[in-house]
Amino acid sequence: MIAREGERLVVRGPLTIATVPALFEEGLRHLNDEDLLVDFSQAETVDSAAVSMLLGWARAAQRGQHSLRVAGLPKDLLSLAHLYGVADMLPQEPVNI
């Protein structure tokens, strides 16, 4: 689930192959309109689909000339990104909330 809270989007719940397709599309709708701060601090279980989703959002933001900032990335997501060798492709402006 993605919820709008002021100037940021908050991602809640599991980020798995079962949930990511819908979350990805929902996030894209927001990326089409503005620069985003996405807060992952309330995300629960993650799998490799979460890494893919975040990379897809980053590419979409770049194409649309918007910025994507992230906060509260789960350690599991960062660990998977390092494992797959794509950690340097994640949004480079982590923000602490």
| Tens digit of pLDDT at every position of the chain (97 positions) | 899 888 788 999 999 999 999 999 998 988 877 888 999 999 999 999 999 999 999 999 888 888 888 999 999 999 999 999 998 888 855 555 5
Q: What residues does 38 pair with on adjacent strands? A: 9, 70
**Residue 72: C-alpha distances to residues 12, 37, 75, 93 (Å):** 11, 11, 9, 12
Q: Provide the whole-model pTM.
A: 0.86
Quote the pLDDT of residue 64. Answer: 85
Quote the pLDDT of residue 7. Answer: 77
Q: Check: CATH 3.30.750.24 for 2-95? A: yes
* Residue ranges with strand state E in 6-86: 8-15, 36-46, 68-71
Residues in CB range of 6: below 8 A, 6 or more apart: none
Quote the pLDDT of residue 11. Answer: 94
